Amino acid sequence: MPELPPDLLGTLRGAGRVVALTGSGISAESGVPTFREAQTGLWERFDPLELATPEAFARDPRLVWDWYEWRRGLVERAEPNPGHLALAQLERRLPAFTLITQNVDGLHQKAGSEYVTELHGNILRSRCSLEATVVEDYAPGEAPPPCPNCGAPLRPDVVWFGEALPTEVSRVASEAAGACDLFLSVGTSSLVYPAAALPFEALENGARLVEINPNETPLTPYATHVVRGEAGKILPALVGAAFV
């Protein structure tokens, strides 16, 4: 069992409002390749920055769609790990819990988390490139398929480089971070903004900050507690010890 700071258990038990921010580390433990790792096989000659922008989609929509279809296949085969399951348990145990994720794989929902704020969208969804509405039913065959409502090409429902986060998503995440008394940063590099700013919003409100990560990050010096290790090992131990 991982060694946990004793006062962290008491902090978690007594917390009124908890926010957890998850990054690619927790998904990597389920076998989901990170953004850079998704450049293998037929795709290794492409720079992901050339495939994940509005300009790339406008230039070659089929290329971008096919890359995301390949990545969707990888995500669909992945299963939640114990870290995902532990966060779903926290949602049920705590009086107020907000889960914010930078991941686009839907594994938190698959693990049983009901209220997930997806900062960067969800790769398993598609939306109209013109109307921005999510489209669930469309005719397969064309790449990309046309929107059944207006005929514009569909695109993955993710936030590309150069695009702003959805306004409502940003508001929910920022308000939750600013109102919590305990913030968990889980498996995130703390390099990608605006997500990387959320722990500091919590700190400004007097929250305690816990970093769960195998590696040091720019957030480490500011954390109240630093627990080194994989989320799939740390989180189940933390939840189990705090709520036995």
d(CA 139, CA 147) in angstroms, rounded, equals 9
Q: Are β-strands 121-128 and 182-186 bridged in parallel, bridged antiparallel, or unpaired? A: unpaired
CB atoms within 10 A of CB 75: 23
Sequence length of the chain is 244
Of 233, 208, 218, 204, which Cα lies nearest the Cα of 8?
Answer: 208
Of 11, 5, 4, 2, which Cα lies nearest the Cα of 206?
Answer: 11
Contact by Cβ (8 Å): 173, 147 = no
Which two structure tokens, joined as six digits, stand for 84? Answer: 């995902």
**Helices 82-93 and 231-242: crossing angle, nearest 10°?**
30
Q: Are β-strands 208-212 and 154-158 bridged in parallel, bridged antiparallel, or unpaired? A: unpaired
Cis amide prior to 144 (ω within 30 degrees): yes
Set 84, 108, 120, 225: catalytic member: 120
Which two structure tokens, joined as six digits, stand for 223? Answer: 């954390």
Tell me how far apart the terminal alpha carbons of the chain are, to the nearest angstrom.
Answer: 15
225 is a catalytic site residue: no
CA distances from 229 to 2, 26, 64, 88, 215 (A): 8, 11, 35, 19, 8
For the annotated catalytic residues, the residue numbers are 120
